[in-house]
A and B are shown apart, each in its own frame.
Chain A
Amino acid sequence: MLALTEPRLSTPGAGSPAPAVEVLSAEKIFPDGTRALAPIELAVGQGEFITLIGPSGCGKSTLLKLMANLIEPSDGRLMWWRSSYDEATSGSRGSRRQVAFVFQDPTLMPWARVETNVRLPLDLAGVAKPASRARVAAALERVGLTKFTRHFPRQLSGGMKMRASIARSLVVDPDLLLMDEPFGALDEFTRNRLDDDLVKLCFERKLTTVFVTHSIYEAVFLSSRVIVMATGPGRIFATLAIEEPQPRHESFRNSARFAEYCRTLSGLLARASVAGPEAGERA
């Protein structure tokens, strides 16, 4: 039914490839009147790894949900590969794009085994069992959970649950991966290991990724571009390009360049959190 396994056609066009997502003066005002996002302009290029960072309430999760089409902008619009979300994600064969979202929590179905959880997007898309089984096995292998396919979520550690959640997003072979603070609840050691694996995964599969985090180290380590956001209302405060070739190696964390980037980003964040008249109004 779906042509998920077929090689995708590259986007035709003379110049640079179409950006994966464009946010065009999109803003978000919640029904209770809270202005979560002032009009935002942002383009995420094909293959980029972008991190959104900022103080609590700066609207980074809201921006990510806009990109996932989980919520609609109050004004302005977004485009995915230069078309609407529905056109891009349910278009004709070959040009159909997949957007995957990794939530803050693992959001696994507690009653289903790991393999069933990972297979869910394929089941919902009506992919036949033999085809989906192979893809589930491949996705689980990529996140290192091959030995745990028959386990229930409650039998896994926090880090392993997150790995299962990532496998579920990879199983659809996404063109755009949106991650909302996926490793926020994990200890630093586990987080670093997952970050190392994520870097490799995204590079190998040339994934376009937008990643929300609170951690300066994580932002610097992962991204090609860090978007610093400020509150009151949520807006883009600054952009920091991390000019370190991908895929990043663990040793980058111990380098002087890494420390320098962290210092710069930390300075930007400090200024972002005091900027604006209504700064820190929303928790």
Chain B
Amino acid sequence: MTAPVIRSEAALSVVAPTLVGIVLVLVWEIACRAGGVPVFLLPKPSDIALKLASDWPTLLRALGMTLRVALQAFAASIVLGTLIAFLFVQSRILEKSLLPYAVLLQVTPIVAIAPLIIIFVKNTQAALTICATVVAIFPIISNTTLGLRSVDPGLINLFRMNRAGRLATLLRLRIPSALPYFFGGLRISSGLALIGAVVGEFVAGTGGRSAGLAYEILQSGFQLDIPRMFAALFLITLAGIALFVVMVGLSRLALGQWHESEIGAET
């Protein structure tokens, strides 16, 4: 309703963290220079920036590889996770018998099973995607299942009284009710897909043309090229933030007009 307030609110959420970032980077730079910290212990932000600029082509290609795995895994998680959630909601027996295994998948450390997956699956890309999917799928399953079940009982009665079939109830009632939960799951899952891709690659240690950012980090560590390590780390972080921002935007698009989470307190 009050446009200027919202605009300054939005500006604030961009400007404030940016200022904090700038200050932190400055403090880091000054502290390194003043203390004479050697570059192989903690590189200055300027060293990292220079490295980023000089190694840009290889790092960018590595980022592309990692992102590709992460996005493939994220897409697979969304499709499979949503399907599994639908199955769970359709049948209690199915949920009771399969949910423990989904939890099992979730609590098993990916570092422990990644070598197995990489041995079983010949194609490294595919193996990495599977690793990342295993990590990223659980929030989608659990959130979407919860959402599909969290339907206003009054609305269920209303649909029953109007003789709504299973499909109509699913499309017009269960899916819209589940959307806020689903988008909550997406936010968590997008970050996990990236982490899964990086962790999988650490274990697989793929080099050559299909090297991702994790490999670059490992390799730079071996060569004591610490600025390059930080540069790769910076790119991973940036990718994670970008994914998160996209998810927030999507969620706002879908829920902005009606859901409490996207509506300011003043309305």
Q: Which residues from B are CB-within-8-Å of A153?
A: 258
B141-156: contact bitstring with A at CB < 8 Å (1 yes, 0 no)? Answer: 0000000000010110
Contact present for B161 and A154 (CB under 8 Å) = no
From 165 to 221 in chain B, residues with beta carbon under 8 angstroms from any chain A beta carbon are 168, 172-173, 176, 179
For the residues of A in contact with B, the DSSP-based class is loop
B: number of interface residues (CB 8 Å) = 22
Per the bound structure, the CA–CA distance linking A70 and B156 in Å amounts to: 11
- Does B159 sit at the interface, judged by CB under 8 A? yes
Instruction: Name A105's closest neighbour in chain B (CB-CB).
Output: B154
Contact present for A124 and B263 (CB under 8 Å) = no
Q: Which one of A90, A109, A123 has the greatest number of beta carbons of chain B within 10 Å?
A: A109
Contact present for A109 and B173 (CB under 8 Å) = yes
- Does B163 sit at the interface, judged by CB under 8 A? yes
- Does B158 sit at the interface, judged by CB under 8 A? yes
B266 to chain A, nearest CB (A): 12
Instruction: Name A178's closest neighbour in chain B (CB-CB).
Output: B161
Given contacts A121-B162, A124-B163, A125-B162, whether A109 and B263 have CB atoms under 8 Å apart is no
- Does A148 sit at the interface, judged by CB under 8 A? no
Contact present for B267 and A154 (CB under 8 Å) = yes
A: number of interface residues (CB 8 Å) = 24
Contact present for A111 and B179 (CB under 8 Å) = yes
Contact present for A107 and B179 (CB under 8 Å) = no
- Does B157 sit at the interface, judged by CB under 8 A? yes
A178 to chain B, nearest CB (A): 9
- Does B257 sit at the interface, judged by CB under 8 A? yes
- Does B25 sit at the interface, judged by CB under 8 A? no
B88-132: contact bitstring with A at CB < 8 Å (1 yes, 0 no)? Answer: 000000000000000000000000000000000000000000000
A61 to chain B, nearest CB (A): 12
Contact present for A111 and B161 (CB under 8 Å) = no
Contact present for B158 and A101 (CB under 8 Å) = yes
Given contacts A105-B154, A111-B179, A111-B258, whether A124 and B159 have CB atoms under 8 Å apart is yes
Per the bound structure, the CA–CA distance linking A154 and B155 in Å amounts to: 16
Contact present for A70 and B163 (CB under 8 Å) = no
Contact present for A111 and B158 (CB under 8 Å) = no
Q: Which residues from A are CB-within-8-Å of B179?
A: 111
Q: Which residues from B are CB-within-8-Å of A100?
A: 161
From 103 to 130 in chain A, residues with beta carbon under 8 angstroms from any chain B beta carbon are 103-105, 107, 109-112, 120-121, 123-125
Partner of B158, one of A104, A107, A112, A123: A107
Q: Which one of A125, A153, A154 has the greatest number of beta carbons of chain B within 10 Å?
A: A154
Q: Which residues from B are CB-within-8-Å of A69?
A: 161
Q: Which residues from B are CB-within-8-Å of A110?
A: 258-259
Instruction: Name B173's closest neighbour in chain A (CB-CB).
Output: A109
- Does B33 sit at the interface, judged by CB under 8 A? no
Instruction: Name B157's closest neighbour in chain A (CB-CB).
Output: A70
Q: Which residues from B are CB-within-8-Å of A37?
A: none
Contact present for B161 and A99 (CB under 8 Å) = yes
From 58 to 98 in chain A, residues with beta carbon under 8 angstroms from any chain B beta carbon are 68-70, 90
Instruction: Name B254's closest neighbour in chain A (CB-CB).
Output: A111
Contact present for A101 and B161 (CB under 8 Å) = yes
The contact sample of 12 A-B pairs, CB cut-off 8 A, is A68-B161, A70-B160, A90-B163, A101-B158, A103-B157, A103-B158, A104-B154, A111-B258, A124-B162, A124-B172, A152-B257, A154-B267
Q: Write the residues of chain B forming the contact surface with A, with a CB cutoff of 8 angstroms.
A: 152, 154-155, 157-164, 168, 172-173, 176, 179, 255, 257-259, 263, 267
